[in-house]
Chains A and B, each alone.
Chain A
């Protein structure tokens, strides 16, 4: 049982480049999330999805895009990378939306934009 799998673990981008962070879960969870973690700031929600074909913005969506074509996959795309997007990105999933539902996290993807 792999849980939530993220790739790549590390990536260095130049300003203006684009890339996609991949996220796959094998728990048949309906809800999936992308967070970014910055030192001293905790986790901020970028985008979330309530099921295949349905996505919505979180707290800090600017500069990112997502899609959800299947229950399992929830890729995060960075267009025109900027130094402000240097961060650690976490994908998470849950059976239900917030409330008492526990989030299962991936191991994270560390992105540096130079």
Chain B
């Protein structure tokens, strides 16, 4: 069965610093991978997705993620954090039948 592990339930960065949120997956078939963001009191929104076209995926709000098959990773990065990036981020893996979510990483941005 496929699964996702997000390393670090809380990440805190200063405004302007690099954001790195870690995600490792397990899948028996070539996976589809997603990052969703959840702002306070809202539902999840798609940030970006990987569907095997290109290993470096660019998403909204300056975020990007790189698919590394050898490391089974799909880490999310942003060069410079903004206060508005404070939210919870979920990595998800999908095959043709099921989507599984990680436990989430709460990002705090300090002024």
Residues of A within 8 A of B (CB): 4, 35, 40-43, 45, 90, 92, 97-103, 105-108
Contact = CB atoms under 8 A, between A and B. Distances in A.
A92 B44 CA distance: 9
B101 interface: yes
B102 A107 contact: no
B25 to A, nearest CB: 13
Contacts of A92: 43-44
Contacts of A90: 43-44
Contacts, number: 56
B99 interface: yes
Given A40-B9, A41-B103, A43-B101, A98 B44 contact: no
B32 A43 contact: no
Contacts of B67: none
Contact of B51 (A41, A45, A100): A100
A107 B95 CA distance: 25
A82 B71 CA distance: 42
Contacts of B101: 35, 42-43
A103 B35 CA distance: 11
Given A43-B90, A97-B96, A102 B46 contact: yes
Contacts of B82: none
Contacts of A97: 96-97
Nearest to A48: B98
Contacts of A108: 41-43
A107 B51 contact: no
B71 to A, nearest CB: 21
A42 B44 CA distance: 11
